Structure 1
Amino acid sequence: ELGISSQKINKLIRASRLTCKVDTCELQDQHQLYFHTMLIDEKGNFTTINQKMNINKGTVRRFHWTLNPKQFVEEPYNTAVGSHQKVVLDLTSRKSRECRKTIVDIVRDEQPKKLQKTIVSLSREIGQTKIIDFLGIKIVKMPYELAIPKKISLEALKNAHEFAGKNFADLLEIRGVGPATIRGLAYVSKLIYGASTSFTDPIRYTYAFGTKANIPYRLEKRAMANVGEILKNAVEQAKIGNRQKIEAIKRLKDFLNF
């Protein structure tokens, strides 16, 4: 038993739900959330690890959240690794700050029925080729999962209109507000109001030599060994102390001990 107060437990429950909503709705990357865990110590400090999968492609993406995030909706990751995507909808980016604010404003100010018609009209009038031109993205085809939704829940928009708070996190917590709703609102914000929106993948690290499960491709042990030898030579030639060299080579050896 950790001895954490009930108030703190409620905050942790909210954080757990919100981190899942962020990784599902704010960062839309053709991968679905399938693994979620929180690490909590006796003082109530916590961090979150979420993992997403694209079943058709057999690829995964993992997101390690920062410790005790002060805010959840903007660049909350300590580390993000996995298969890099050419295009994603990334509302967690600071470049999407204007988009998030605009979404909150239009949900609060616009009538739900009118907003629903606006989103559906955009999906009809702007095809995949046109939307790529509008967004200036250098890809051949917009992924289906990132297209403007053809249908949008009026009930979700009504709930958002009635209960939306002052910020984007409040909107994410509203029941019924899911990826399609957020994506539709993001396109209204971008295409109609001109709000800055990021379509760049936040993933900076990927699996250079395959994975232990041999998915999406098998582990190339020989290539890993060759790169390890190059790094070892670089350390040996570096202008650092012998102790630092020994420690660096030991860490490299431990890392490559497959």
Structure 2
Amino acid sequence: MRTGIAELPLHGGKVPAWLLSRLEKLSKILVTLIVEEYGTLGLLERISDPVYFQAINNIIGMDWDSSGSTTVTTAIIKRVLSREELGVRACGGKGVHSREAPDEIRKVSEEFGLDASSFVRTSRLVAKIDNTALQSGYQLYHHVFFVDEEGNWAVVQQGMNTVDKMARRYHWLSTKVSDFTRNPHSGIQGRREPFALNTIADDSQEFRKLSVELIKDEPEKLPTLFAEANRLLEGYVPLTSYVPYDPHKVRELREKFRRLGKPSLNKDVWLQLREVNIDSFSDLLLLKNVGPATIRGLALVAELVYEVQPSWRDPVTHPPVDPFKFAYAVGGKDGVPFPIDRKQYDELLSILSELMSRVKGDAKIMKRLAALTRSWAPPPEEKIPT
């Protein structure tokens, strides 16, 4: 067990009702304090930071290293924001609830007087990027879109790898995105994989350009080009070719696609590509039938036919420093570092509520409280996987 690292194994089960009610009360206090001190953008900045988000999860009592910490924490924050007038809302959620994001975004946009169409497009695009443009063996199953009344937004979404039984969390912030298809994340938390099909990396720019050109200029040639590249992948050695045949490259690609899934360019996608006009890689990703297999197919053609290689570097920002110390506030749902005590949790809620009512607007008192434990670190032997 590496200390200082928060991996996210897939956890099942549910949070008991007695704990859910307390999670919501403490989350309300935390979110309110953050908005009062830093504003709505300050809240979005912290939600979009993998370490800060993990600290919120730890401090309210969720497991410090569980995939469920993402889904539960975002669901609780969404509920708090829906009941409080803080100038921020959250849309979407886990599984089927992720597909409710567009309708919820439209309602929130109407409430805040914002243009819903751009936010709906952004929500769709960031989901397509983390599930299709960036492939590391994780399938997206959770998507939450946060937006404030000023039009700032943040996204927290998570993918799962059912083979390794691990999860990966993706964070986005509007103020850090200048190009959706070029290193757009504010952070990615998860275990670094040996490789990933990373078409949003800086050094994938030529691949993105080639993909758009192929679809705009010569979509009729794509099935032929894909068939040729696929024969090379399967081991066919051409007698003559205008592209040098590299057996080592072919073996490497075969292993990568064995892990990520087969490349494909099916008839429906090909017919669609012939009939649409696209101007950018973002437009390509937003097409309905373009999924991970299609992008793998384009990567295969690019590398074996045109010798244009997309990036295969996993863009996990870093194995994040894990704020395990915050799990000592109330304990952990599964008993790490110690079981949650309902009476102590209620006493904490009572003290914080009283402090907030007495010192409203005076952040200095809360900062002095925070300073008491700033230099404290938990015993490493107490950090055990849940």
What TM-score, normalized by structure 1, do the two folds share? Answer: 0.73
Aligned to 2:314: 201
Deviations 1:217-257 (A, max 9, x none): x9997xxxxxxxxxxxxxxxxxxxxxxxx959616548989
SS in 2 for 1:141: helix
Q: RMSD between aligned alpha carbons? A: 3.5
Indicate the percent of aligned positions where both proteins have the same amino acid. 27
CA distance in 2 between counterparts of 1:178 and 1:133 reads: 27
Alignment deviations for residues 73-132 of structure 1 (CA, whole Å, 9 cap, x no partner): 1111111110111011000101101100000001112233x312321332232248x988
Structure 1 residue aligned with 2:165: 58
1:134 aligned residue: 249
Matched, 1:100 2:100: no
Tell me, yes or no, if structure 1 residue 121 matches structure 2 residue 228: yes
Aligned CA distance change for structure 1 residues 93 and 131 (closer, same or farther; 3 Å): farther
Q: When you count helix as a share of all residues, which structure comes out higher? A: 2
Q: Structure 1 regions of 5+ residues with no counterpart?
A: 213-217, 222-245
CA 90–252 in structure 1, closer or farther in 2 if over 3 Å, else same: farther
Distance 1:254 1:64, change over 3 A: farther
Q: How far apart are residue 192 of structure 1 and its match?
A: 1.6
- Helix, strand or coil: the match of 2:308? coil
- Structure 2: 5+ residue stretches without partners: 1-107, 236-244, 328-333, 338-369
| Cα distance in 2, alignment partners of residues 131 and 50 from structure 1 | 38
The size of the alignment, in residue pairs, is: 223
Which aligned pairs between 1:42-191 and structure 2 lie closer than 5 A?
42-68=149-175, 69-112=177-220, 114-127=221-234, 133-134=248-249, 141-146=255-260, 148-149=262-263, 151-191=264-304
Whole-Å Cα distance in 1 between the matches of residues 123 and 314 of structure 2? Answer: 23
3-state secondary structure, aligned to 1:44: coil
CA distance 1:115–1:248, change in 2 (3 Å): farther
Counterpart Cα distance in 2 of 1:157 and 1:179: 15
Match runs of 1:12-27 below 5 Å: 12-27=119-134
Q: Is the 8 A contact 2:219 2:273 kept in 1?
A: no
Inter-CA distance 171–141: structure 2 relative to 1 (3 Å threshold): closer
In 2, Cα distance between equivalents of 1:19 and 1:174? 13
AA of the residue aligned to 2:288: R
Q: Which runs of 4+ in 1 moved over 4 A?
A: 218-221, 246-249, 254-258
